[in-house]
Structure 1
């Protein structure tokens, strides 16, 4: 049994926490969402979806890491713009054998975490194909669990990387370890950029975007631009035809609503800068045109300006 702390126990983090606790691990959840904390502490955390339906009692659910103590595994599952605060809060959880996995959409988060906690215990995580949501406080739902990948940020030994992954595998997840973390991250990003911004702007689910010719034209163009930027950056993508790959993965979770769409519906800040915005930024740096992503970013920022 491992002692696990999930910092960022929102939709995705709650799925991780619930399944790991159900597998017998000691799991501590940390989130700033007060209603979710109260519901989990009162009634337990219910996780349902493709993995089944269960309600578990976490070891703790609170708004801070205070009192948790050193953990075997620390998962930073916050949004990209919250990673610095999460990393700072994780300092007291890290011992000589702790594995810290930082899991965010887009690019750049791991560098910001490493600047705060160091790089020797750090792993980069990539997950996808979950379609996770919190339909009500205390309840997490997920449509799938297609992709869970980890790689050492820099110095984390392979055996420690594998030990962290084993906690996930014991909870029913299928993991894959990567030496080439750029490939790992970009193979997820080409899917993120296809559906995150497009769903956010249209209000459609992933399946609806795939089925609608106009929406798919935008989504596939966003992804094609990301593939072009990856090629210019000399990043290996081992997925066959990238656009077909994106469409196939998306087709496995047709009812999913990406987090950017959920954020927009709740009038919250989105991760557009880390996802579609990262393609615009890197494209400009590398001399690769990214007109579709540029427009998607501009429209989402314009929408957010009306409520942020």
Structure 2
């Protein structure tokens, strides 16, 4: 049994917390969404979907880390634009043996977390094939449960990365460890880039994007720009044909709506700058054209200005 703090209890963070608590771990959920925290306290946290259906009572759910103290594992599961504040909030949870895992979509979040807490205890996580959402406060649903990947940010010894991963395995998660974290991140990144922006703009699920000729044309072009950029940067993608890899993973969670689409429907800030926009930023100074990702990003930002 381990003590775990999940900082950021959105869809994915709630799935992590619920399954870990169900496995017998001591889990603290830290979340700024008042309605979600209130529902969890009143009725428990329901997690349903690919893993089954259960309602659990977290050890505690609150808006702060006050009073918890150092834990075995800290999972930072906020959106990419909130990671610095989440890292600051997580400081009281980190002891000399705590493993900190930061799990976000896109590029850049681990660097920002390390800037706050240092690199010594930090592990990078990448999650694929879940398609999670929060249908109502106190409830998390996920369409799949494919794979979670972890690697060291640089200074955390590999056996400590493994110690953190073991907690996930005891809760039923499929986990692999990577020494090449850049490859690990980019193999998920190309999937996010392909579906996130296109789904956000069209309102289509992943499966509907794959089936619609026009939507897939845009989505595929977004992915191809990211794939080309990975090649130029010397990032090895060990997935066979990258586009077929993306199609296969997308087909496995065809009913899922990418988080950027959910954010748009809820009129919340999206992670466009860390996903499609990050392709444009990362390509500066290279020969890679990012016209499609730039256009998709600009349209999303323009729409967000109408409600943010």
TM-score (normalised: structure 2): 0.99
Shift in Å at residue 128 of structure 1? 1.4
Q: CA deviation at 1:286?
A: 1.9
1:100 CA displacement = 0.1
SS in 2 for 1:105: coil
Paired position in structure 1 for 2:156: 156
Report the 3-state secondary structure (helix = DSSP H, G, I; strand = E; otherwise coil) of the residue aligned with 1:127.
strand
User: Hey, what does 1:282 align to over in structure 2?
Assistant: 282
SS in 2 for 1:28: strand
Alignment partners' CA distance in 2, 1:128 and 1:299: 26
Runs of 4 or more, structure 1, over 4 Å off, are none
**1:83 corresponds to which residue?**
83
In 1, Cα distance between equivalents of 2:224 and 2:202: 19
Report the 3-state secondary structure (helix = DSSP H, G, I; strand = E; otherwise coil) of the residue aligned with 2:256.
coil
Tell me how far apart the structure 2 counterparts of residues 244 and 275 of structure 1 sit (CA, whole Å): 20
State the 1:56 CA deviation.
Answer: 0.3
Give me the CA root mean square deviation: 0.6
Are positions 1:307 and 2:302 aligned together? no
Q: Secondary structure at the match of 2:6?
A: strand
Does 2:233 align with 1:233?
A: yes
Q: Secondary structure at the match of 1:68?
A: coil
Q: Partner of 1:265 in structure 2? A: 265
Cα offset, 1:179, TM superposition: 0.5
Shift of 1:270: 0.2
Aligned residue number for residue 176 of structure 1: 176
Measure the CA separation in 1 of the matches of 2:269 and 2:205: 19
Deviations 1:75-105 (A, max 9, x none): 0000000000000011111111100000011
> Cα offset for 1:254?
0.5
Displacement, 1:287? 2.6
Is there any run of 5+ residues in structure 2 with no aligned partner, and where?
none
- Residue of structure 2 in register with 1:2 after alignment: 2
> How many angstroms does 1:261 deviate by?
0.3
